Chains A and B, each alone.
Chain A
Amino acid sequence: MPTLYQQFMQSMMPILPEAIVIIVALTVLVFDFFIEKERKSLLGWYSLAGIVIAAYASYTLMPMGGTFFGGTFHLDPFATFFNFVFYIACGLGILVSINYLEVEDIHRGEYYALMLFATSGMMFMASAGDLILLYLGLELMALSIYILAGFMRGSNRSNEAAIKYLILGAFSSGIMLYGMSLLYGLAGTTNLSGILAFLRVADLSNPIIFLAMIMLTVSFGFKVAAAPFHMWVPDVYEGAPTSVTAFMSAGPKVAGFAVLLRVFLYTFEPLREHSTAILAGLAVLTMAVGNVMALSQTNIKRMLAYSSIAHAGYALVGLAAGGPDGAASVMLYVLIYAFMNMGAFGVVIMLRKAGERGEEISDFAGLGKTNKTAAFLMLIFMFSLTGIPPLAGFIGKFYIFKSAVEAGLVWLAVAGVLFSAISAYFYLRVIMVMYMHEPKESIELSSAPSLALALAISVTAVIVIGIYPTDLLNYARASIAGIM
Chain B
Amino acid sequence: MLELKLNQLDFPLLSLFIFLPVLGAFLLLFIKNAMAARWVALVVSIIELGLCVPLLLNFDSSMAHMQFGESIPWIAAWNINYRLGVDGISILFVVLAALLTVISIMVSWTAIQDRVREFMIAMLFLEAAMIGVFVSLDLFLFYIFWEAMLIPMYLLIGIWGGPNRLYAAIKFFLYTLVGSVLMLIAIIAVYFAAGHTFDVLALMNYKFSHTFQMWAFAAFFVAFAVKVPMFPVHTWLPDAHVEAPTAGSIILAGILIKMGAYGFLRFSLPFFPDAALAWTPAIMVLSVIAIIYGAYMAFAQTDFKKLIAYSSVSHMGFVTLGIFALNLQGLEGGILQMLNHGVSTGALFLAVGIIYERTHTRQIADYGGIAARVPVYATFLMIVTFSSIGLPGTNGFIGEFTILLGAFLHYKPYAVIASLGIILGAGYMLWLYQRVAFGKITNAHNEHLADMNAREVVAALPLVILVFFIGLYPNAAFGVIHASVENLVQHVNAKMASAPAVTQMLSTVIGN
Contact = CB atoms under 8 A, between A and B. Distances in A.
Interface of A: 368-369, 383, 388-390, 394, 398, 401-402, 405-406, 410, 413-414, 417-418, 420-421, 424-425, 428, 431-432, 435-436, 469-470, 473-474, 477
B188 A413 contact: yes
Given A470-B75, A477-B77, A417 B173 contact: no
Given A388-B148, A410-B185, A424 B74 contact: no
A470 B178 contact: no
Given A421-B174, A421-B181, A402 B188 contact: yes
Nearest to B170: A428
A401 B184 contact: yes
Nearest to B77: A473
Nearest to B196: A406
B143 A389 contact: yes
B184 A424 contact: no
B357 interface: no
B182 interface: yes
Interface string B169-213: 110011001100110110011011000000000000000000000
Contact of B159 (A390, A428, A435): A435
B231 interface: no
Contact of A389 (B74, B78, B148, B185): B148
B75 A405 contact: no
B192 A469 contact: no
Contacts of B166: 432, 436
B158 interface: yes
Interface stretch (B7-15, B42-50, B149-157, B462-470): B149-157
Contacts of B75: 469-470, 473
7 contacts: A389-B143, A389-B148, A421-B174, A436-B169, A470-B74, A473-B75, A473-B77
B144 interface: yes
Q: Which 9 A-B pairs have the closest CB atoms?
A: A417-B181, A389-B144, A405-B188, A421-B178, A421-B177, A389-B147, A402-B188, A470-B75, A436-B158
Contacts of B184: 398, 401, 417
Nearest to B180: A421
Nearest to B117: A372
A410 B36 CA distance: 51
A420 B147 CA distance: 13
B182 A405 contact: no
B315 interface: no
A432 B191 CA distance: 36
B57 interface: no
B91 to A, nearest CB: 24
Interface residues of B, number: 32
A119 B169 CA distance: 42
Nearest to B74: A470
Nearest to B157: A436
B185 A417 contact: yes
B501 interface: no
A289 B115 CA distance: 38
Contacts of A402: 78, 188, 191
Nearest to A402: B188
A393 to B, nearest CB: 11
Q: Is the interface of B mostly helix, strand, loop or mixed?
A: helix
B76 interface: yes
Contact of A420 (B150, B181, B188): B181
B189 A435 contact: no
B185 A383 contact: no
B165 interface: yes
A400 B170 CA distance: 26
A115 to B, nearest CB: 34
A402 to B, nearest CB: 5
B120 to A, nearest CB: 15
Interface string B335-370: 000000000000000000000000000000000000
Contact of B147 (A388, A405, A425, A431): A388
Interface in B427-479: none
Nearest to A419: B181
Nearest to B75: A470
Contacts of B189: 405, 410
Contacts of A394: 144, 147
A432 B177 contact: no
Interface string B317-340: 000000000000000000000000
A401 B185 contact: yes
A421 B75 CA distance: 25
Nearest to A383: B151
Contacts of A431: 158
Given A406-B192, A470-B75, A473-B77, A414 B159 contact: no
Contacts of A389: 143-144, 147-148
Nearest to B161: A436
B419 to A, nearest CB: 38
Contacts of B147: 388-389, 394
Given A389-B143, A424-B173, 20 more contacts: A383-B151, A389-B144, A402-B188, A405-B188, A405-B189, A413-B185, A414-B182, A417-B181, A418-B178, A418-B181, A418-B182, A421-B174, A421-B177, A424-B177, A428-B173, A432-B169, A436-B165, A436-B169, A470-B74, A474-B76
A406 B165 CA distance: 40
Contacts of A425: 170, 174
Interface in B67-118: 74-78, 115
Nearest to A476: B77
A424 B175 CA distance: 11
Contacts of A368: 115, 159
A68 to B, nearest CB: 31
A420 B178 CA distance: 9
A388 B77 contact: no
Nearest to B219: A414
Choose among A368, A369, A388 the residue with the greatest number of B CB atoms under 10 Å from its CB: A388
A375 B143 CA distance: 26
Contacts of B191: 402
A470 B147 CA distance: 20
A398 B181 CA distance: 10
Nearest to B184: A417
Contacts of B155: 435
Given A394-B147, A424-B173, A424-B174, A436 B159 contact: yes
A405 B185 contact: yes
A23 B231 CA distance: 66
Contacts of B144: 389-390, 394
A401 B188 contact: yes
B396 to A, nearest CB: 36
A22 to B, nearest CB: 36
Contacts of A401: 184-185, 188
Contacts of B185: 401, 405, 410, 413-414, 417
A413 B186 CA distance: 10
B169 A405 contact: no
A351 B165 CA distance: 26
A425 B165 CA distance: 15
A196 to B, nearest CB: 28
Contacts of B150: 388
Nearest to A388: B147
A437 to B, nearest CB: 9
Contact of B154 (A390, A428, A474): A428
A268 to B, nearest CB: 26
Nearest to B154: A428
A477 B144 CA distance: 22
B423 to A, nearest CB: 40
Nearest to A403: B188
Nearest to B140: A398
Contacts of B143: 389
Contacts of A398: 184, 188
B50 to A, nearest CB: 26
Given A383-B151, A435-B158, A436-B166, A417 B77 contact: no
A413 B183 CA distance: 12
Contacts of B74: 470
Contacts of B158: 431-432, 435-436
